[in-house]
A and B are shown apart, each in its own frame.
Chain A
Amino acid sequence: MISLYRPGATPLHRLPAGPKLALLSIAGVALTVTTHIGLLAVAAAAAAGLLASARPPGDLVRGQAMGLLWITLVVLGLAALAGSWRDGVIFVFRVVALVSLATAVTVTTRTADIQDLLERGLSRLGPGGERLAERLGLAIALVIRFVPELLAHAAALDEARKARGLKASAPRLLIPLLVRTLRTADAVAEALDARGYPGTGGSAVAQPSKTSGDTAA
């Protein structure tokens, strides 16, 4: 889960986040209830065409295509074993269509636009909703921002293990990764405090024995 947004000026880029997410939701429901192979094939082709129109980077498309290829092979293999080719083909068309549509939306929509949409929607829940929406939006953005950092931490730890000639083991990776993750969370909370983000620090200043931890990082 990383920010896949790529700047551009295609029609999909110009379409606001709200309609895009609404159409994605409707398409998701429609694709789930449809079992007509012909319709699903057309939907998959149309979704792939829509994705191509957003001009996504080649490496992203190749990565997703490889992932889908594996899913396709596994599903079709299982379907063949179960004697139900039709179900396997329906599943594959459905997944191709959904993944293509979701990628098209992600590639053409800034995280901030999705965050704003979420904030606008949740702020209608009543008093305090705006604040909750802002925090939730920030939490989502932080997840998107820091997943690649944590993956990089994990890769660095694994590389260090190999350099020391140690055998791979889950605790050897997970314990230091957990420690680094907690330290990163502390550092991010402190950075938000330092920038005066509302709800962090302020009057509730950090004590010297620790960094402030009142930010939902």
Chain B
Amino acid sequence: MGIDMDMHPNAPVLLDDGRPAGPRVRFDGVAVDLGGASVLRDIDLDLAERRIGVLGLNGSGKSTLGRLVNGLVAPTRGRVTVDGLDTVADGRAVRRKVGFVFQAPENQIVLPIVGEDVALGLKTLGASRKDAAAGARRALERFGLGDLVDRSSHSLSGGQRQLVALAAVLVMEPALVVFDEPTTQLDLRNRNAVARAIDAMDAAALVITHDLDLVAGYDRCLVLEAGRVAFDGAPAEAVRFYRERAA
């Protein structure tokens, strides 16, 4: 992977070829308890690659791991930081750096008209109504969804919803986007469209998925098992490990 992890904890990370890697996400002794049960434990990670996959069986703690990065869940023990920002103490700043695409995009698209929903993030960042509307249109056009700008959010197909949800996140120009099972509900054509959209992103991506093909070209892949990181390495080995464990 070619990343020097021994540098100062908050220093920017560069790949061997000089390309900037993603923002540096550190998990230091993180554990999460949920309703008396341990969901994650003993998580120590230093993530800085541009494309990171997270695999694991249902209930292994993948979604909780992703939510920790955006600050949607607070660790019970330990600390999660993004470029040195604590996800609990600096929640708002972290959310400007880290976008989140949920498994069910119908709940993520919160406004009745597609263009209005995509513009919401820009308005949150302080853009005027006019600038937000123009930015939303540009973001949708980038995904070939320009004709949806005035469509009712309710009328979108599953694939369109997932891409609109992604556009609504990317319009805020996050440094990292966490995807929680982005292809689970999609047919093959829409799954491929989402995979291409992730590949084309300038932002780094942490992709939680059951779709083993999706992570094939990624820089790093984690496998979670019963709340612990059971494997951390290259995608091909991670997939092999996961297949053996899931058999």
Q: Which of A141-176 contact B (CB under 8 A)?
A: 141-142, 144-145, 148-149
How far, in whole Å, are A6 and B151 apart by their CA atoms in the complex?
8
A142, A148, A209: most-surrounded residue (chain B CB, <10 A): A209
How far, in whole Å, are A217 and B110 apart by their CA atoms in the complex?
9
The interface-forming segment of B7-15, B94-102, B181-189, B234-242 is: B94-102
Q: Is B245 an interface residue (CB 8 A)?
A: no
Q: Once the chains bind, are A111 and B116 in contact (CB under 8 Å)?
A: yes
Q: Is B152 an interface residue (CB 8 A)?
A: yes
The interface-forming segment of B18-26, B42-50, B72-80, B199-207 is: B72-80
- Given A201-B91, A205-B88: A196 and B124 within 8 A (CB)? yes
What is the minimal beta-carbon distance from A60 to any residue of chain B, in angstroms?
A: 12
Q: Which of B38-83 contact A (CB under 8 A)?
A: 39, 64, 70-76
Q: Once the chains bind, are A202 and B72 in contact (CB under 8 Å)?
A: no
What is the minimal beta-carbon distance from A28 to any residue of chain B, in angstroms?
A: 24
Q: Once the chains bind, are A201 and B95 in contact (CB under 8 Å)?
A: yes
Q: Is B160 an interface residue (CB 8 A)?
A: no
- Given A116-B129, A208-B64: A149 and B106 within 8 A (CB)? yes
Q: Is A37 an interface residue (CB 8 A)?
A: no
Interface mask (A191-217 → B, CB under 8 Å = 1, otherwise 0) = 111111110011111111101100001
In the complex, chain B residues whose CB is within 8 Å of the CB of A191: 100, 102, 107-108, 110
Q: Once the chains bind, are A141 and B39 in contact (CB under 8 Å)?
A: no
In the complex, chain B residues whose CB is within 8 Å of the CB of A193: 72, 95
In the complex, chain B residues whose CB is within 8 Å of the CB of A204: 91
Q: Is A2 an interface residue (CB 8 A)?
A: yes
Q: Is the interface of B mostly helix, strand, loop or mixed?
A: mixed
How far, in whole Å, are A197 and B153 apart by their CA atoms in the complex?
19
Q: Once the chains bind, are A141 and B124 in contact (CB under 8 Å)?
A: no
What is the minimal beta-carbon distance from B215 to any residue of chain A, in angstroms?
A: 22
The interface-forming segment of A42-50, A65-73, A88-96, A182-190 is: A182-190
From the candidates A2, A6, A194, name the one contacting B154 in the complex (CB within 8 A).
A2
In the complex, chain A residues whose CB is within 8 Å of the CB of B243: none
Q: Once the chains bind, are A112 and B92 in contact (CB under 8 Å)?
A: no
Question: Nearest CB to that of A195 among chain B residues?
Answer: B121
Q: Is A16 an interface residue (CB 8 A)?
A: no
In the complex, chain B residues whose CB is within 8 Å of the CB of A194: 70, 72, 95, 99-100, 102, 108
How far, in whole Å, are A192 and B107 apart by their CA atoms in the complex?
10
From the candidates A7, A141, A205, A206, name the one contacting B112 in the complex (CB within 8 A).
A141
In the complex, chain A residues whose CB is within 8 Å of the CB of B95: 193-196, 201-202
In the complex, chain A residues whose CB is within 8 Å of the CB of B168: 195
In the complex, chain A residues whose CB is within 8 Å of the CB of B70: 194
Q: Is B141 an interface residue (CB 8 A)?
A: no
From the candidates A7, A188, A201, name the one contacting B72 in the complex (CB within 8 A).
A201
In the complex, chain A residues whose CB is within 8 Å of the CB of B120: 195, 197
Q: Once the chains bind, are B100 and A145 in contact (CB under 8 Å)?
A: no
Question: Nearest CB to that of B31 among chain A residues?
Answer: A208
How far, in whole Å, are A184 and B106 apart by their CA atoms in the complex?
9
Q: Is B150 an interface residue (CB 8 A)?
A: yes
Q: Is B87 an interface residue (CB 8 A)?
A: yes
In the complex, chain A residues whose CB is within 8 Å of the CB of B113: 3, 5, 110-112
Q: Is B169 an interface residue (CB 8 A)?
A: yes
How far, in whole Å, are A145 and B39 apart by their CA atoms in the complex?
33
Q: Is B32 an interface residue (CB 8 A)?
A: yes
Q: Once the chains bind, are A2 and B108 in contact (CB under 8 Å)?
A: no
In the complex, chain B residues whose CB is within 8 Å of the CB of A141: 110-112, 116
Question: Nearest CB to that of A215 among chain B residues?
Answer: B110
The 10 closest A-B pairs by CB, nearest first: A3-B112, A187-B107, A7-B150, A196-B95, A194-B100, A202-B92, A191-B108, A145-B112, A148-B154, A112-B116
Given contacts A191-B102, A202-B95, A205-B91, 5 further A-B contacts (CB under 8 A): A3-B113, A112-B113, A194-B70, A205-B73, A206-B74
Can you sample 23 A-B contacts with CB below 8 Å?
Answer: A3-B152, A5-B113, A110-B113, A141-B112, A145-B154, A148-B154, A187-B102, A187-B107, A191-B100, A191-B108, A194-B100, A194-B102, A195-B95, A195-B120, A196-B92, A203-B91, A205-B91, A206-B72, A207-B73, A208-B39, A208-B64, A209-B34, A211-B72
